[in-house]
Amino acid sequence: MQVAVLSGSVFGTADMVADEAASVCAKAGLDVIRIKPATVDALLAAKPDSLLVCTSTTGMGELPDSFMPFYLELQSRFPLLTLVPFGVIALGDSAYGDTFCQGGELMRELLLELQAVEALPMLRLDASESVTPESDAQPWLEQWASLVAG
């Protein structure tokens, strides 16, 4: 069972969480493909059995600039990912109010439109609450990886 792990980050936190995700998935026996930087061509070439996306939010509820081209290309090419199990880890800061974790929300909605299936409800990591996102994500990651590994 393969998993493609992608990340969208401004300052590197979401990249670090994605690296941690890759290691948890590998320990759970998944065959990890860390796609960095994220491109649609690399994703489609990998034809992964499952997909894990970690992204932060910037601006007023936007995806990181470096991740935006991937999102927009995925939206315009619209490759169906029918029944592919996925998970999203959204990094944000609740101090931003209504736009809290909006970047992850955008990614999640697009994957659902592409007919992928959310294996576990999106994890929100709040920078106002904690400064240890990688370790905070561990229990969720272990659960996600074991669900996907079957």
Find all residues with CB under 8 Å of 70, minimum gap 6, and list them.
6, 8, 37, 38, 39, 40
Taking CB under 6 A as the rule, which mask of x and - marks residues 27-56 in contact with ligand FMN? -----------------------------x
Of 6-14, 45-53, 78-86, 105-113, the window that binds ligand FMN (rule: CB under 6 A) is 6-14
Closer by beta carbon to ligand FMN, 40 or else 89: 89
# residues contacting ligand FMN (CB under 6 A): 22
Q: Is 10 in the site for ligand FMN (CB under 6 A)?
A: yes
Is the Cα dihedral 142, 14, 57, 30 positive or negative? negative
CA distances from 128 to 38, 83, 91, 95 (A): 27, 34, 11, 7
Choosing from 4, 13, 22, 34, the residue that interacts with ligand FMN (CB under 6 A) is 13
In our burial notation (b when 16+ CB lie closer than 10 A, e otherwise), range 46-78 reads: eebebbbbbbbbbeebbbbeebeebbebbeeee
Choosing from 19, 96, 146, 147, the residue that interacts with ligand FMN (CB under 6 A) is 96
φ/ψ of 81, rounded to 5, equals -120, 45
Closer by beta carbon to ligand FMN, 31 or else 93: 93
Closer by beta carbon to ligand FMN, 50 or else 57: 57
φ/ψ of 51, rounded to 5, equals -145, 130
Q: Is 102 in the site for ligand FMN (CB under 6 A)?
A: yes
Q: Residues in the site for ligand FMN, rule: CB under 6 A?
A: 9-14, 56-61, 64, 91-93, 96, 99-102, 127
